[in-house]
Amino acid sequence: MEARTLGRTAVPVTALALGTAPLGGMFRPVPEDDARATVDAAWDAGVRTFDTAPQYGAGRAEERLGTALRGRPRDELVVCTKVGRLVVPRDEGEGGGVGIFADTRGRGVAFDFSADGVRRSLEASLERLGLDRVDVLHVHDPDDHLDQAIAEALPALLELRDEGVIGAVGAGMNAAGPLARIVRETDVDCVLLAGRYTLLDRSGADYLLPLCAERGVSVIAAGVFNSGVLLDPRPGATFDYAPASDDVLARAARIGERCAAHGVATATAAMRFPLRDPAVASVLIGARSADEVRANAAAFAADVPEALWKELRPLSHPDGARA
């Protein structure tokens, strides 16, 4: 599978990466055997980039990923995790988004974007992963902690990079504006942008993607299905984890119709679209089963005719989140 390096680093990421939030039990439990089979199927499909976080199941996704990767050639894989939330006993947690994960086994998460918190988070992640290093470390959703993340967490990550402890520094969010501020004010190598550069919402292209291209910062595109509405635009479908508006449902249905007219799966177009921008290095897709991985990998490998891209552009609202 094609690989590209992140920013000015030597860290290679495959064009398709596996996200492990579902393996942490997002919305519903995933059996241990299914979690292992999911990672195995990704490896067999040529995926060598794996994304996780302490938030995902309060550490469970990291544990499962580490178990599944054990024995794989370490120099052939890239492991990305995140900082900003520490895994703690449930009664010491602050929410931190862990409530959407099933069976966290009495654990929760607490926000911590301090320099000390960054190092403690990395140490704990390495223990759960069973690794001696991770390749990419992102600040994770610092929405309400942005000033502290820029003043404390990111400088600590940059020190770890300069010390050779990690290979690349990034920041992951659902909003393009704060990521643009991070790119302007810090020396990150990459950003993980979720849901803001998709067939439905290309608002990330307004200023974040051009800024990243100008600064030599790579983009990892996530949330390309906008939480499912692109693949199944029926009433009750969700757009970014909330009920989709009538306009979003209508545009998603028209996107599906245009794809079908060209004999292209909507999933193929959704996954291939971000890579048309030179700033995008990888597309991150979560999965909870081997079958999902195989289906996504097959869709990702399919071709998309240029004529379809031209027909889809008018349906990609410049700010789909407010449409």
Mind telling me the catalytic residues? 56
List of E strands, 90-208:
107-111, 136-140, 168-173, 190-194
- Specify the amino acid at residue 291: D
CA distances from 9 to 161, 164, 242, 320 (A): 10, 11, 37, 33
Q: What is the DSSP string of 44-58?
A: HTT--EEE--TTTTT
Which residue is associated with the tokens 């410049």? Answer: 318
CA 216 to the chain's CA centroid: 19
CA distances from 58 to 51, 62, 189 (A): 15, 9, 26
- Specify the amino acid at residue 84: G
Helix (H, G, I), strand (E, B) or coil at 222: strand
Q: What does the block give as tokens for 6?
A: 């992140």
φ, ψ of residue 236 in degrees (nearest 5):
95, -10
Report the candidate in 271, 284, 300, 158 with the shortest Cα–Cα distance to residue 220: 284
Q: Which residues is 26 bridged to in the sheet? A: 101
Q: Are 74 and 121 in contact (CB under 8 A)?
A: no
What Rg do the C-alpha atoms of the chain give, in angstroms? 18
